[in-house]
Amino acid sequence: MSVPEAAAGAEGTTSDDYSEEYYATYAGHGDYDWGNEGWRTFFTQVASRVKAITNAHSVLDVGCAKGLLVQALVERGVDARGLDVSRHAIESAHPDVRDRLAVGSATDPIPGRYDLISFIEVAEHLSPREAETALDRICAATDQLLFTSTPGHFDDPSHINVRPTAEWVAGFADRGFFRRTDVNLDFLAPWAVLLQRADLSARDVVRRYEPAVATLHTEVLEKRSALLEAHRDISRLSTDASDTPSARERLLALQGRLDEQRQHADELEQTLLTEGHDRLTVRDHVIGLEARADELTRKLTSHQSKLTTEQEQVADLQGRLRRQLHRAEAAEQQLEEAHASRSWRWGRALSLPLRALRR
């Protein structure tokens, strides 16, 4: 077997390569799931643009991972489905979309047809032979295809089949699919392309590509010219500054004033920082005093409440004492009146002999 044949038969990645650990730091944007606001916002925007551009009512996302694009499309009224080789990804999908996802390989036959099939950042994970089979399967099930595959990012160990975008697009052209040059998919990726099935002659292809190529070529020429002119201006200014004493002196003087202004700005910044620190210190001190005042106020209120209670108790005791004194005075008066009465004196006289006999 020759080297190219061996490469073509090389094994691609498997479900085990896309475990929980792989998705834990997927693409460096935190948790890769619908609950992550960053990912949810990204796929929501992508779904809105894709629906507007393609007008697709049914979509299959091949290599859907956890189904974030599928979920975003469904929320916009699209009958979207997804499949992915990673069982972990499918089982980890959001409950709202899990029944629309299936475990499967991009090389499996696709039942039915779809208005659009998306094949986003998947091809580079397949072996060359698997990639060719996947392209055949996808092209057989749709007339419109959204495709991206990074032409770089070689540091990802699962990227085993990285190719230039032009090579992928040429492969689709062999299958009757051509890039739509009237749309811009930079919102998804700089290398994203939308391809449609079309029966094009060489003349048709030129008519599609030539306006875009001509525009880009004109832009490059104009920018080159502007860059050259700017370089010439810089050279003239440098020459004038070095050859003309007065210009050189003005330049030095200007540089000196600039240094003074920069130093003055630094001093002002330092002053502002110092004053800001002082204001913060005073504010902290005021906050501390206010807290102390609040504490003293609470204690004063508590003491006043206790004092009021004790005053009420004293007043109650004073009232009781007055009533006791009043009853004592009344009893003493009654006793005096009894001593003064005649019957008491007679009773006292009669009781004396009886006391003597008891003795």
Alpha helices in the chain (DSSP H): 3-8, 20-24, 37-54, 68-74, 87-91, 128-139, 165-174, 202-243, 245-340, 342-358
Which residues are CB-contacts of 62 (< 8 A; sequence separation ≥ 6)? 82, 83, 106, 110, 117, 118, 119, 122, 134, 138
Which CATH number is 3-199 given?
3.40.50.150
Q: Return the residue matching tokens 């498997």.
A: 14
Residues 6+ apart with CB under 8 A from 251: 241
pLDDT at residue 4 in the model = 41
| Angle value at C-alpha 106, between 105 and 107, nearest 5 degrees | 85
- Residue 294 corresponds to which amino acid? D
Q: Residue 214 in 3-state DSSP? A: helix
Name the residue among 93, 95, 21, 27 with its Cα closest to residue 61.
93
Backbone angles phi, psi at 189, to 5 degrees: -170, 150
Strand order across the 193-197 sheet: 101-103, 79-84, 58-62, 116-120, 144-148, 193-197, 177-179
DSSP single-letter state for residue 142: B
The candidate with the shortest Cα–Cα distance to 120, out of 206, 58, 174, 192, is: 192
Q: What is the pLDDT along the chain (359 residues), one digit of tens a residue?
A: 333 433 444 567 776 666 666 666 655 556 888 988 999 999 999 999 999 999 999 999 999 999 999 999 999 999 999 999 999 999 999 999 999 999 999 999 999 999 999 999 999 999 999 999 999 999 999 999 999 999 988 888 889 999 999 999 999 999 999 999 889 999 999 999 999 999 888 787 777 777 777 666 677 777 787 777 777 777 777 666 566 666 667 777 777 887 887 887 777 777 766 766 666 666 666 677 777 777 888 888 888 888 888 888 888 888 888 888 888 888 888 887 777 776 656 666 666 565 555 55
> DSSP class of residue 141?
S
Give the model's pLDDT for residue 290.
73
If you write DSSP's letter for every residue of 254-304 in order, what string do you get? HHHHHHHHHHHHHHHHHHHHHHHHHHHHHHHHHHHHHHHHHHHHHHHHHHH
Q: Which residues on neighbouring strands pair with residue 148, listed in sequence order?
A: 120
Strand pairing category for 144-148 and 193-197: antiparallel
Q: How confident is the model at residue 2, as a pLDDT?
A: 34
pLDDT at 112: 94
Q: What is residue 5's predicted lDDT score, i.e. its pLDDT?
A: 38
DSSP state of 340: H
What's the CA gap between 262 and 257, in Å, rounded? 8
| Token representation of residue 284 | 């902290």
Tokens encoding 255: 């540089």
- Yes or no: say if 33 and 64 are a contact pair by the CB < 8 Å rule: no
Give the integer Cα–Cα distance in Å for 173 and 180.
Answer: 12
